[in-house]
Chains A and B, each alone.
Chain A
Amino acid sequence: MNRRRTLSPEQWEREQQILHDALEHEDAERDAFVEEACGDDRDLRSELASLLNAYRQGGLPSDPDEIDVPRIGELERLKRALASRYAIDRPLGAGGTATVYLANDLKHTRKVAIKVLCAELSATLGADRLLREIRIAARLRHPNIVPLYDSGETDDFLYYVKPVEGETSLRVRREINREPPIVGHAHVS
């Protein structure tokens, strides 16, 4: 085991600067760049060499790609976007691709659950999936399938609206992570 010196914040700052500069260079030129940047400082040079080596090997820890907490500020934006029809109360839960909010349907004065696809995902492939889900749900009538009240797209939000009441709300919560409903024994109207 090779003991490395403990770095002061200033030393670490300097090493990082060289590391980032080195990463700007093509892989083939990096070693030469580090050599030049470190000059006669042999410790620094070996530090940088081992850091670049660790960078190449990647590994730990990877990027958390999933976005399953609604974006900070999303609630406020959503409230504004839906203000004419729904008063958003609070989130019921969040899954990998969507968040479900409890809201009041202002027109029909009833509680509803609004499932909103993450804004980032609406912009890419996820939109197709939610739209498919909406289309299927709109056609289904079955005791185990929550009917669909409304759906739409506003200010980058893709959403659909379902009833929420007693036991149903539990089901809505469970559904957050679920795949689109499976067309099994349901009757398509």
Chain B
Amino acid sequence: MPDDANVTQVLAELSAGDQSALDRLLPMVYDQLRGIARRELGKERSDHTLTPTALAHEAYLKLVHLDKVDWQGRAHFFAVCAQAMRRILISYARMKKADKRGAGAEHVPIENAVLAAQTRPGELLALDDALRKLERMSERQARIVECRFFAGMSVEQTAEALGISPATVKRDWTAARTWLNRELQR
């Protein structure tokens, strides 16, 4: 279990321009986030709607010394959280699908990645496959989908987290969503 000082330190290094810190950050965030997510996913159909942002926020509060991290460090943290959320939800969906093999696979729009992992795991796994193809066509678009869909971030938050303009996020999001939508209709 990483201690808070570690994550805070790594975020400071990232803000200072050390890109290798990003690779060290992911496992730290992943561990913490997985613990929180497992607890929340365990109580199925809880009284509140579980959002990825709420999970990421909780991880942030647990891991980061707020006084010592600037907004850039914070942005990096949430970008990494988005990637971690994707992995967590996909492995959860895999487990879930193995549980109830052969369950109906109707095509329903996905509103929320957490909800999809819980109720329509097959669909989320298909999305993950498609997203891996998209990644090879445009790495940036895959990151945007992670932030927007898997971490529930707004256009502005995504722009800040990835260091690009909101206009680029909007444009890429439209293209990526259209492409994914078509892939999943096959």
Contact = CB atoms under 8 A, between A and B. Distances in A.
Interface of A: 1-2, 6-9, 12-13, 16, 19-20, 23, 50-51, 53-55, 57-69, 71-73, 75-76, 89-94, 177
Q: Is the interface of B mostly helix, strand, loop or mixed?
A: helix
Contacts of B57: 68-69, 91, 93-94
Best-surrounded residue of B58, B66, B181 (most CB of chain A within 10 A): B181
Given A71-B157, A177-B48, A54 B182 contact: yes
A64 B148 contact: yes
Given A9-B138, A64-B149, A19 B178 contact: yes
Contacts of A91: 57, 61, 66
A61 B66 contact: no
Given A68-B53, A69-B153, A76-B71, A23 B78 contact: no
Contacts of B48: 177
Given A20-B171, A65-B154, 11 more contacts: A9-B138, A20-B175, A61-B148, A64-B148, A64-B154, A67-B154, A68-B54, A69-B57, A73-B160, A76-B71, A94-B53
B54 A60 contact: no
Contacts, number: 115
A71 B156 contact: yes
15 contacts: A7-B137, A12-B138, A19-B175, A20-B171, A20-B175, A54-B181, A61-B127, A61-B180, A64-B51, A64-B154, A66-B53, A66-B152, A76-B71, A89-B66, A94-B54
A120 B182 CA distance: 33
B110 interface: yes
A6 B134 CA distance: 10
Q: What are the 8 tightest A-B residue pairs by CB atom distance, in nearest-first order?
A: A54-B182, A64-B152, A12-B137, A54-B181, A59-B109, A61-B149, A16-B175, A55-B178
B181 A58 contact: yes
Contacts of A50: 182
A51 B137 CA distance: 15
A66 to B, nearest CB: 6
Contacts of A65: 154
B165 interface: no
Contacts of B136: 6, 9
A66 B152 CA distance: 8
Contacts of A7: 137
Contacts of B58: 93
Contacts of B185: 54, 57
Contacts of B178: 19, 51, 54-55
Given A7-B137, A60-B127, A72-B161, A93 B174 contact: no
B63 to A, nearest CB: 12
A8 B180 CA distance: 16
Contact of B157 (A13, A55, A69): A69
